[in-house]
Amino acid sequence: MFAAAPGPEVLLILFVAVFAFSILLLLIKRYRRCPSNKVLVVYGKVTGAQAAKCVHGGAAFIWPVVQDYAYLDLEPIQIEIPLKGALSLENIRVNVPSVFTVAIGTEPTIMQNAAVRLLNLASDDIMAQARDIIFGQLRQVIASMRIEEINRDREAFLSSIQKSLEPELRKVGLVLINVNITDITDDSGYIEAIGRKAAATAIQQATIDVAEQEKKGAVGVAGANREKDIEVAVAQKERDIGTKDADKERTIQVANLEKEAKVGEQKAHFQRDAQVADAEREKRVRVAEANAQAVKGENDAQALIARTNADLATEQAVAYQRGETSRRVAEAEVLKAQYEAQTEAAKAQEAKIEAEKNAELVALAKSQKAKMIVDAEAAAERRRIEAQGEASAIFAKLEAEARGQYEILQKKGQGFAEIVKACGDAQAAFQMMMLEHLDHLADTASSAISNIKFDKVVVWDPGNGTNGKSATAGFLQGLAGALPPMLQMMRDIGGVQMPDYFGKMTGDQKAPAPETARATTPPVKGDGEPRQKKT
């Protein structure tokens, strides 16, 4: 037996279901979301008197046939402006090479202007329009200012550029983000002359200040020299002590400063990494919020579609109400089940997004924790290595100083040994070294009495001497008699043999004849026979 063919009612239901499903797919396909770095422009038949509808950071439904859409990029555009030969207020041509950064604005009015004038234009075309506007306004600003104003107050110059340029850029849907003036020059050398004038003025003022300070210094030098001689001995002693203390304090402070610098460097790196991590986390949070809003919009649209389908099914059911009451109830149940299934799917999607967001935050926290641990261990290892290096350097320095002192003492001992060896014995070497320092001893003795002034020497001699001699003659004879014992003491103590004529007096005897009077020089050890010299 053959199965019965489906009735017209079943075919009608299938046709209505297929038609409704097609409408649903078409509506979903025409719902567009706008990324954060773009502007969604809906054009065609839009509400109000506007030529287009602009959406930034949201979504919109594009009606088929009567509407279409396009995107505007919000990426910044850098434009190099090699401006040359612009006339200033003094009719001097100025070169102002600069770099301008512009982008499409997100204010409603600016977005409308951009949708009207920049939609479907390439980046080079937008850059060309902006470059022409910037050239004109920059020349106008330079023509209204003097070169000294432009060169002296860059902030006022940039402010004038912004005030003049921003209204013109807004007309085409652009905003000014940054202005960077590379340099300001002129062909006539006026700016360079201004710089030379300022430098000459500064040098002249510095010369005057130096002369004034030198005058004050010359006045103070006299007083300083007067006090210098009194305090020099104390200052030398305090200088030696202070030098040692300063060296020790400098070494300690240098070590502390190096330690603080390294600690501060580590803190700066840590803070920079923390700021980068915070910025990345804020970015992820904002992206997640934008996605959540988009999903919410999709869910609202799906709910609207479901309600529309329910109303359509209800109206169709009313048309067949008389003979199809039971079937109407069944269709209502089917629609209810579909709505509940869609609601559950939306909830599952929201739960999945929340779980992914929490997983990303947990992974980010774990990676930051691991990085902090690694940085701390690296910093501790670096401080240990630096401490070992400083200790090794101090040890090497002290060892080198000790070796230097040892070499100096060793060479000095070898020199003394050579002197003793050359002289024959230690006593002769001592005498020779005493002779080398005799001039220094004489200078010291002479300087002790050099400041004593003798205006006159008065000798009172009453004439009551003995043996027919005056008291003065007796004093001089006694003084001369004391010389031989003193010379004997110098020979016994210091080992210095003075000539005999320092310690002999002729008295009343006649001096020997010139050809027979001789004096001998003291013998020198190791020199063989004594040498004689005629007097």
Residue 86 CA to residue 134 CA, distance in Å, equals 13
82 and 162 assigned to the same domain: yes
| pLDDT recorded at residue 517 | 37
Q: Are 126 and 118 in contact (CB under 8 A)?
A: yes
| pLDDT recorded at residue 469 | 64
121 and 147 assigned to the same domain: yes
Q: Is residue 18 part of a domain?
A: yes
181 and 87 assigned to the same domain: yes
Highest mean pLDDT among 217-231, 341-355, 418-432, 519-533: 341-355
Q: Is residue 94 part of a domain?
A: yes
Q: What would the pLDDT profile of 202-237 be if each residue is shown by its tens digit?
A: 787 777 877 777 777 777 777 777 777 777 777 777
| pLDDT recorded at residue 257 | 80
Could you list the residue range(s) of the whole structural domain that residue 477 is in? Answer: 469-512
Sequence-distant (≥ 6) Cβ neighbours of residue 82 within 8 angstroms: 97
pLDDT band for position 526 (cuts 50, 70, 90): very low
Picking from 175, 47, 38, the residue whose alpha carbon sits closest to that of residue 119 is 38
158 and 172 assigned to the same domain: yes
Residue 88 CA to residue 190 CA, distance in Å, equals 12
Residue 136 CA to residue 165 CA, distance in Å, equals 9
| pLDDT recorded at residue 336 | 79
With a cut of 70, say whether residue 504 has pLDDT above it: no
With a cut of 80, say whether residue 324 has pLDDT above it: no
Q: How many residues does the chain have?
A: 535
**Global pTM exceeds 0.75:** no
pLDDT band for position 33 (cuts 50, 70, 90): confident
| pLDDT recorded at residue 521 | 40
64 and 85 assigned to the same domain: no
| pLDDT recorded at residue 14 | 83
Q: Poorest-confidence range of 85-94, 197-206, 233-242, 459-468?
A: 459-468
Residue 477 CA to residue 471 CA, distance in Å, equals 10
Instruction: Count the domains in the chain.
Output: 3
69 and 164 assigned to the same domain: no
pLDDT band for position 409 (cuts 50, 70, 90): confident
| pLDDT recorded at residue 133 | 92
| pLDDT recorded at residue 502 | 52
Q: Is residue 486 part of a domain?
A: yes
With a cut of 50, say whether residue 522 has pLDDT above it: no
132 and 52 assigned to the same domain: no
pLDDT band for position 449 (cuts 50, 70, 90): low
Angle between helices 325-423 and 426-436 (to 10 degrees): 100
Q: Poorest-confidence range of 276-285, 479-488, 501-510?
A: 501-510
Q: Is residue 485 part of a domain?
A: yes
| pLDDT recorded at residue 481 | 61
Find the mean pLDDT for residues 241-250: 80
Between 324 and 53, the more confident residue is 53
Residue 23 CA to residue 343 CA, distance in Å, equals 19
122 and 52 assigned to the same domain: no
Q: What would the pLDDT profile of 138-190 be if each residue is shown by its tens digit?
A: 999 988 888 888 877 888 888 899 899 999 999 999 999 999 888 888 777 77
Domain of 79, CATH number, reads 3.30.479.30
Picking from 153, 145, 134, 160, the residue whose alpha carbon sits closest to that of residue 91 is 145
With a cut of 80, say whether residue 72 has pLDDT above it: yes
57 and 84 assigned to the same domain: no
94 and 167 assigned to the same domain: yes
The burial of 186, by beta-carbon neighbours within 10 Å (0-12 exposed, 13-18 middle, 19 or more buried), is given as buried
Alpha helices by DSSP H, 76-189: 108-117, 123-143, 147-152, 154-171
HSE (side-chain half, CA atoms, 13 Å) at 338: 19
**What is the greatest pairwise CA distance in the chain?**
193
With a cut of 70, say whether residue 279 has pLDDT above it: yes
Q: What would the pLDDT profile of 100-115 be if each residue is shown by its tens digit?
A: 999 998 888 898 888 8
| pLDDT recorded at residue 457 | 56
Q: Is residue 370 part of a domain?
A: no
Beta bridge partners of 69: 42
142 and 84 assigned to the same domain: yes
| Boundary (domain end) residue, out of 127, 153, 188 | 188
Sequence-distant (≥ 6) Cβ neighbours of residue 51 within 8 angstroms: 43, 112, 115, 116
Coil vs helix vs strand at 527: coil
| pLDDT recorded at residue 329 | 66
Q: Poorest-confidence range of 18-32, 302-316, 420-434, 444-458?
A: 444-458
Kindly state the percentage of the chain with pLDDT values over 90: 6
Q: Helix count (H) and strand count (E) of the chain? A: 11, 11
Q: What would the pLDDT profile of 249-277 be if each residue is shown by its tens digit?
A: 878 888 788 877 777 777 777 777 777 77
Coil vs helix vs strand at 1: coil
| pLDDT recorded at residue 533 | 38
Q: Is residue 257 part of a domain?
A: no
| Boundary (domain end) residue, out of 164, 188, 212 | 188
65 and 16 assigned to the same domain: yes
pLDDT band for position 292 (cuts 50, 70, 90): confident
Between 434 and 159, the more confident residue is 159
With a cut of 70, say whether residue 131 has pLDDT above it: yes
pLDDT band for position 99 (cuts 50, 70, 90): very high
Residue 387 CA to residue 337 CA, distance in Å, equals 75
Beta bridge partners of 53: 42
Q: Is residue 234 part of a domain?
A: no
**Both tokens assigned to 229:** 């001689």
By DSSP bridging, strand 93-104 and strand 174-181 are antiparallel
| pLDDT recorded at residue 296 | 77
Between 364 and 135, the more confident residue is 135
| pLDDT recorded at residue 398 | 85
Q: Is residue 48 part of a domain?
A: yes
**Both tokens assigned to 215:** 């005058």
